[in-house]
Amino acid sequence: MSAPEILERFGRRLRVGFVGGGAGSVIGRTHLLALRADGLAELVAGCLSSDPDRADASARALLLPPERSYPDWRTMIERERDRADGIDVAVIITPPLYHAEIAEGFLAAGMSVLCEKPMTATLAEAEALTKAVESSTGLFAVTHCYTGYPMVREARHLVRSGALGEIRLVEGQFAGGEPSLLREPGDPSTRHWRFRASAMGRASLLGEIGSHVHNIVEYVTGHRVTEVSAHLSTVAARREVYDNAYLTVGFGNGAAGRLWSSFVAAGAEHGLEFRIFGDDGSLHWRQDDPEYLWLLRPGRGMTRVSRGMATTSGFSQAATRIRPGHPEGYLMAFANIYRDCAHAVMRTRLGEDASRELAALPDVRDGLSTMRLLEAAVAAHESGRTVPVGG
């Protein structure tokens, strides 16, 4: 059954509910666009804010039926579970402090869950959630949206198929410094959770963006980070959390690497990129120029890999929608997470094989791996030593 046939066979769009992501939420708007793009799913319910008035206003702006705008996620689970047309998938867009509890609730009700990163606020929660996922029937994925880029997937294909030989060095960074990140807001009460030590400790930077850079290098290489040393620091005045993190890491296959996360790389608008070096060449990818992958092979020049090549893998072609030469951008990368998730849920219910989609999605084990790194990085920083990443 080819991808375009799945919706017709399934006979309806997937029903989705959001927890969080209401009016004013940048990431909420992004999820909405990603959800809509392919016409495979529709938003039918939500608990769009912890503030009930804001939740209701958000629901009205989206033309949601009032009775499916819930004041809290527990009520949402109960009511949606009881409806014949209840949601298939819950999307968790709250701050990380609540992810574990909410995700376990929806999974226990038999629903699938798409969860924002970092997967949880603590390693202990991640371990518990992993068990919950493994004993549930629903699908669980983490929206590490950058893995949705076709060229990130092509990088994974190339690395894993041996195009670079054995992997030796891995450079990952998410080092930005746009104005809103670079300085603390005048009014501390308007701080995003990422700048509150109460959200996930002083190392929230590692959860907010360090999780992406860790995830993407593991996603592409297939190797787990197994040890870490760390230098964490705070640059911005009046900031209560770290805003720069230098990690030097080792990987399971013996490769070495560096992961850099920063909010104070002044002037960089985004800053996610990776470079992966093997015995026979290297690959470079930058999120601000995401349509291309740069392949360097000693003595053979540098090749710009794009979707428009006869050799492009099926794995990355499946993550595209339009012809080469038309940049697809971040929102379609994000939409690929939704599309893979929707197809995986539909295929599974139709009794079809969903292994391609599941292979492409960051799962609970990936989220757990990141939470292990975070804990180890803090320990490494505090001890001034290299620390193994538990597992």
Binding positions for a second copy, 224-243, rule CB under 8 A:
229, 231, 233, 235
Nearer to a second copy, 106 or 146 (CB): 146
The first and second tokens of residue 377, run together, are 């990085």
Q: How far is the CB of 270 from a second copy (least distance, A)?
A: 3
Asked whether position 162 contacts a second copy by CB under 8 A, the answer is no
Nearer to a second copy, 11 or 351 (CB): 11
Q: How far is the CB of 139 from a second copy (least distance, A)?
A: 22
CB-based burial, 67-101: b 16+ in 10 Å, e otherwise:
ebbbeebeebbeebeeeeebbbbbbbbbbbbbbbb
Asked whether position 258 contacts a second copy by CB under 8 A, the answer is yes
Asked whether position 36 contacts a second copy by CB under 8 A, the answer is yes
Rg (CA), the chain: 21
Asked whether position 314 contacts a second copy by CB under 8 A, the answer is no
Q: In degrees to the nearest 10, what's the CA dihedral of 209, 270, 34, 77?
A: 30
Asked whether position 351 contacts a second copy by CB under 8 A, the answer is no
Distance CA 17, CA 89 (A): 6
Q: How many other C-beta atoms lie within 10 A of the C-beta of residue 359?
A: 12
Q: Binding segment for a second copy among 45-53, 89-97, 197-205, 252-260 (CB under 8 A)?
A: 252-260
Asked whether position 116 contacts a second copy by CB under 8 A, the answer is no
Q: What is the three-class DSSP state of 386?
A: coil
Nearer to a second copy, 164 or 377 (CB): 164
Write each residue from 62 to 101 as x if it is in contact with a second copy (CB under 8 A), else as -, in one continuous string: xx--------------------------------------
The first and second tokens of residue 34, run together, are 């990603």
Task: Quote the DSSP letter at residue 308.
Answer: T
Asked whether position 61 contacts a second copy by CB under 8 A, the answer is yes
Q: How far is the CB of 224 from a second copy (least distance, A)?
A: 18
The first and second tokens of residue 309, run together, are 């090549």
Distance CA 210, CA 370 (A): 9
Q: What is the three-class DSSP state of 179?
A: helix
Of residues 284-313, those binding a second copy (CB under 8 A): 287-291, 295-306, 308-311
Of residues 352-391, those binding a second copy (CB under 8 A): 384-386
